[in-house]
Amino acid sequence: MKSKELFPAMFSRNAAAYQLRLDGIMARKEARGRQRVIELLDLRPGMRVLDLACGPGTLSKPIAALVAPDGELVGVDLAEGMIQLARAVGIPNASFQVMDIEQLAFPDAWFDAAACGHGLQFVPDLARALGEAHRVLRPGARFAASVPLSNDNQRPWMVIDEVVDRWLPPAPAATDQQPTRSMVADPDAFRALAL
């Protein structure tokens, strides 16, 4: 099964639980990668910013606040459920659209900055997604992204996955994601592709 067939429905079904979890993490200031994305963008009032794979608007709200009052945040995600939650937040200077980050429907050089908080690992064609982000950014604009990294803190989750896998039928796998996941897991390869 292809990831674009699997993930939009899965993330839409679980959007509220995902948002609840992320809101707690953000409130406790535990989302260091996502916080760093915001810092690296060097945002100022009046900027137009694109939030790629925006989910329920986790980064959208703080980014929109930093570019207010006359700046604009545009969030895109493949999951309609995530977009509905992001819209429900009611951010006055933000709009949200269901859109594939590998095929952005924006003019060239349209945005002053772009962010992606923990979304690139779900993209089947990472080079295409990064190329699209580059295309819609103005010359000299900033792009910042965070990706989850494997570490020893994930060991408990691997044990849980092993137990769940033993007793439940296998979850559908997104076979087209492996190249991107391998690239994201290797910082040198990821850096080479991104730069």
Distances in Å between the alpha carbon of 139 and those of 7, 8, 25, 88, 194? Answer: 32, 31, 34, 33, 16
- Which domain CATH number covers 142? 3.40.50.150
Q: Is 142 in contact with 41 (CB distance < 8 Å)?
A: yes
Q: Is 127 in contact with 41 (CB distance < 8 Å)?
A: no
User: Is a pLDDT exceeding 70 seen at residue 86?
Assistant: yes
Average the pLDDT over 46-53 and give the result.
97
Per-residue pLDDT band for 156 (boundaries 50, 70, 90) equals very low
Q: What is the pLDDT of residue 147?
A: 78
Total of domains in the chain = 1
Of 6-10, 72-76, 77-81, 146-150, least confident by mean pLDDT is 6-10
Write out the two tokens for 164: 């769940």
Q: Is 132 in contact with 106 (CB distance < 8 Å)?
A: no
Q: What is the pLDDT of residue 182?
A: 62
Domain encompassing residue 105: 3-194
Q: Rounded to an integer, what distance in angstroms lies between the CA atom of residue 147 and that of residue 46?
A: 27
CB-based contacts of 66-71 (< 8 A; 24+ apart in sequence): 66/38, 67/43, 67/93, 68/92, 68/93, 69/45, 69/93, 70/45, 70/46, 71/43, 71/44, 71/45, 71/46, 71/47
pTM confidence score:
0.74
* pLDDT single digits (tens) 94-130: 999 999 999 999 999 999 999 998 888 888 888 899 9
User: Is a pLDDT exceeding 60 seen at residue 167?
Assistant: no
Per-residue pLDDT band for 168 (boundaries 50, 70, 90) equals very low
Q: Which residue has the higher pLDDT, 36 or 133?
A: 133
What is the β-pairing status of strands 137-146 and 72-77?
unpaired
Percent over 90 (pLDDT), the chain: 44
Nearest-10 Cα torsion for 76, 78, 81, 82: -40
Residue positions counted in the chain: 195
Of 83-92, 103-112, 130-139, 144-153, least confident by mean pLDDT is 144-153
Distances in Å between the alpha carbon of 191 and those of 29, 65, 130? Answer: 26, 29, 12
User: Is a pLDDT exceeding 50 seen at residue 190?
Assistant: yes
Q: What is the pLDDT of residue 160?
A: 47
User: Which residues touch 16 (CB under 8 Å, ≥6 apart)?
Assistant: 81, 85
